[in-house]
A and B are shown apart, each in its own frame.
Chain A
Amino acid sequence: MKTLLIGECRNGKLLDHTYELFGFASQLGAETVMLLVGSEGALPSFGGTVYLADAGKYGEYNPDLHKRLVQAAVEREKPDYVVFMHTSYGWDLAPRVAALLQAPQVSEVVALAEGGFERPCCSQKMRQIVKPDGAPAVLTLQGGAFPAQIPGGTAQLQQVDVEGEGRLEFLGYEAAARKGVDLAKAEVIVSAGRGVGKKENLPVIAELAKVLGGEVGASRPVVDSGWMDPGSQVGVTGQTVSPKLYVACGISGAIQHLAGMKKSGFIVAINKDRDAPIGEVADVLVVADVMQFVPALTAKLSK
């Protein structure tokens, strides 16, 4: 069995999660080759074949050309699986590659399963097992699902080229917004999620944070709704935090949020929904309405 792993570069650097692809291939027990649109200065620590396309020529984001570079490597290697990370690069490019190869695609794989691949559904609350019908199959992997593995060694480079131009013009990256509060240094974070209900209820969260001597964080929907400043967002697209105590108030636990806080020392989640995915990482799950429970907790702690 053979996998073609698709690495990922940004601003000239190989992204760390590229090594999770090797972790997956190792679980699968598959032979591995990689394709990378990057540069010789940013190669993975991997002694196998790496098809290297020059990012200076093809751009770091140019899906029309990248999909054809993948196709060129597929024609030479005849892999069983073409594997991406489920990132803004991977979920963008993978369906284009699947369309070009007329191949099945399984998105956001979290585990190998008998007869196929396991993936989350219903906002991470459930799992389904799907089986691709045909080879090669295109897969994207959920970040963190397969432990990173660094194979080591010096890459055996193969040149890969395609002609033509893409229809998308990449105009550049825009750096992350300046952080409001540096949550990374906080020992206690009390975060507000959609379960708080409305902006007017936020002082309740701030009061609990004050009593606990902590800072206030937020989940993405709270920031998107304009209730709180983007600087307070915890998660993949915000800040990654690891306080001694993290209190998630009305946060269901989207994978992007969990990735940003699951390394906290102790996690308390307050949620009406006993089955919310936040329960997967919580040390204590309080099944309650945030607006009833939090004021009661604050009152008791203030005594």
Chain B
Amino acid sequence: MKILVCVKQVPDMESRFRPDAAGVWYAETDLAFRVNEYDEYAIEQGILLKEQLGGEPEITVLSVGPDRVVEAIKKGLSMGGDRGVHVQDPAAHLKDPFQIASIIATYAKAEAFDLIFTGMQSLDRGSTQVGVTVAEALGYACATTVIGFEYADGTVTVKRELEGGVKGTVRLKTPALVTCQLGLNQPRYPTLPNIMKAKKKEIRVIPVAELLQQQARLVMADFHAPARKGTGVVLEGEVGDQVDRLIGILKDKTAVLR
């Protein structure tokens, strides 16, 4: 069995974001990058399946982006992936979800993976499109927003998370792609021996030009902070002072403190 896990590297979401020179996306200056949280669930599920099948499947960890994304691939390899693919693209952030999906699909087509795991969305762009669009391009069955995953004999049974705590159970046959939602599993921390082992694993570099065959369907026009609708009071400063001011406000504005 061949498994592909697609990972994206995204900034820490507690960062302060500023527009780039073109004003269409964030500037990378001062940002710390890490593996997109949803993709960590995708990596973990791939590894759990490999373990379930006695170690037979081979897991490829792929990322599209500039050289910094090699760190995200290495994280996947140190968690238990077997080999990495870096689609080298310094301008990946300017491509639309359709182009990113097309790039991944062009690579994956030649590899004939049985199962593909992706996150359900990225924390930065959050289009929820890339996974499904890869599946459509490859003609794979696809289930999204998965919080439960079982595999037996070429059949995948998943639980999809719907609204209001309701779940929907869906069965599909491989080849298939699933997009992973928070809560699917508990991603493992790489151990030191595994981090050392990962350093020896192959990471193949493919220039994006070899895989890009599609024009963008979206034009990125602007990037800005939302207008603050909140009319709330912001309390900053020393903790003791903040406590006193908050208690004053609660006495004044709510009936909760008597």
- Residues of chain A at the chain B interface (Cβ within 8 Å): 10, 61, 63, 86-89, 91-92, 94-96, 98-100, 103-108, 113, 115-116, 120-123, 125-134, 140, 167-177, 187-188, 212-213, 220-221, 223-226, 230, 233, 236-238, 244-245, 252, 265-268, 272-276, 279-288, 292-293, 296-297, 300-301
Contacts and interface: CB of A to CB of B under 8 A. Distances in A.
Given A174-B169, A266-B254, 19 more contacts: A91-B144, A95-B129, A99-B137, A107-B97, A122-B123, A125-B17, A126-B226, A127-B223, A128-B222, A129-B220, A132-B217, A171-B171, A238-B165, A252-B14, A279-B232, A281-B230, A285-B230, A285-B234, A297-B246
B110 interface: no
A103 B217 contact: yes
Interface of B: 11, 13-14, 16-17, 24-26, 96-98, 123-129, 132-133, 136-137, 141-145, 157, 159-173, 182-183, 186, 216-226, 228-230, 232-236, 239-240, 242-244, 246-247, 249-250, 253-257
A173 B167 contact: yes
B30 to A, nearest CB: 14
B132 A96 contact: yes
B124 A121 contact: yes
Given A103-B217, A116-B221, A126-B224, A95 B171 contact: no
B182 A224 contact: yes
A46 to B, nearest CB: 22
A10 to B, nearest CB: 7
- Say what secondary structure dominates the interface of chain A: mixed
Contact of A212 (B144, B157, B243, B256): B256
30 contacts: A10-B162, A91-B128, A92-B144, A95-B128, A96-B136, A96-B142, A98-B133, A105-B127, A105-B217, A107-B97, A108-B127, A116-B219, A121-B126, A122-B11, A128-B220, A129-B221, A129-B223, A170-B168, A174-B169, A176-B165, A213-B256, A223-B183, A236-B163, A236-B164, A237-B161, A237-B163, A245-B254, A252-B14, A274-B236, A279-B234
Nearest to A128: B223
A128 B234 contact: no
A111 B228 CA distance: 15
Nearest to B214: A102
Nearest to A211: B257
- List 7 A-B pairs, minimum CB-CB distance, nearest first: A176-B165, A104-B217, A99-B136, A95-B132, A129-B222, A224-B183, A171-B169
Nearest to B122: A121
A61 B143 CA distance: 11
A64 B11 CA distance: 35
B242 A122 contact: no
Main secondary structure of the interface of B (DSSP, over half): mixed
A100 B136 CA distance: 8
Contact of A133 (B127, B168, B218): B218
Contacts of B232: 267, 279, 282-285
Contacts of A91: 128, 144-145
A168 B172 contact: yes
A61 B164 contact: no
Q: Which of B127, B141, B157, B161 has the most CB of A within 10 A?
A: B127
Nearest to B237: A287
Contacts of A121: 124-126, 223
A127 B224 contact: yes
B126 A120 contact: yes
A173 B127 CA distance: 26
A107 B239 contact: no
A168 B141 contact: yes
B126 A107 contact: yes
